[in-house]
Structure 1
Amino acid sequence: SIDRRTEAAEAAKKGLSQDGDEASCCDTALLSCEPPRAELTMLANCATDAYYRVIAAASGGIPAILRAMNAFPLDEETQASGCAALASISMKNSFNQSSAGREGAAGRVLDAMANFPLSIAVQGAGCDALDALTSMTPGNVELLMKYERHDFVKVVEGALERFLPPSCREGGEAALRRASALR
């Protein structure tokens, strides 16, 4: 599951085995090499349906996605799949958008986009996520504008310079329009 792999990675970072003992080099290498990519991709694909968006969020999907993204910040596929899952779970659902905003999803998406500026997968999924997170929740736009680690406008403008699929480009442009409306 997403959480088991994420917890294993966190323990490996701290030098502990799953039992709480000191981890050997082999344990650490093995645990840190298994991000929950398939689980995130599955969640991104299942949460496109309104019913499953509610179920996924009610079952702890948003915090699980964010924990996975935080545990594997340098894994491009995990970041792309995490952004896609956040986009799906937040699409057309203001409650999920607000929950994701409170959990720090907007900043995590910006972090992913800033860490992988040349990745079409991360940039595209990131634009989709930012669009979904801000479409019905102006508070998330404000969070993005105040985010201290990265300049929201510069990150999204950088993404738009890439060859993104039209829907991703539209999502990034929509998020920027919402931000300019708040200025």
Structure 2
Amino acid sequence: MRQSFKVSFYLRSNYENKEGKSPVMLRIFLGGAMSNLGSTKIFVDKAQWNSRTSRQKGRSSEALAVNASLDAISTSLHSLYHKYQDDQTISLDKLRSAYLGQIQEFSTFLPVFDKFIDDIRQRVGHTISKESLQKYSVLRRHFFEFLVHRYKRKDIGLMEFTPAIIQDFELYLTTVALCAYNTAVKKM
């Protein structure tokens, strides 16, 4: 039997950061039960918050970005709910754990890295710059190339991801950077 599911945002009005903004908090409902998931890491001026719609007021670029981020969180949680809705053991704890990344969904490293980059992409313009996103994307591409070059593999199991792999990758990056530098110098 399917249970009703709802995502709700509210402002923690008893706290303000250095900029005088309050954190937007996240709460989910399943059936008649409720669970607080904590801060969304999004901060809003109290005067700009609409309690009825649970969104920031206005059409400014900041308001649009905040509301888009809240919509992304809500969509992500609804996707998790739909993923588990036919599971007889669905619960607030299971949804909370899945949302907070405590349920291991991946067995190899690159899908984890891809999810990380997607999370970074959603934060561009808020807490992350486009340049940082680009750096992570380049790092991911280099790691894939490293795996193919060094291990003749396109991905690596999470249990195989060891400090030795990281050291090998650092050496690989140093070598790639040195080769790129030498190529640039020769073209001069």
Q: In which range does the TM-score fall when normalised by the shorter chain?
A: under 0.3
With the length of structure 2 as denominator, give the TM-score of the two structures. Answer: 0.22
Computing the radius of gyration over CA atoms, which structure comes out larger, 1 or 2?
A: 2
If asked which structure has higher relative contact order (CA below 8 Å, sep 6+), I would say 1
With the length of structure 1 as denominator, give the TM-score of the two structures. Answer: 0.22
Higher helix share: 1
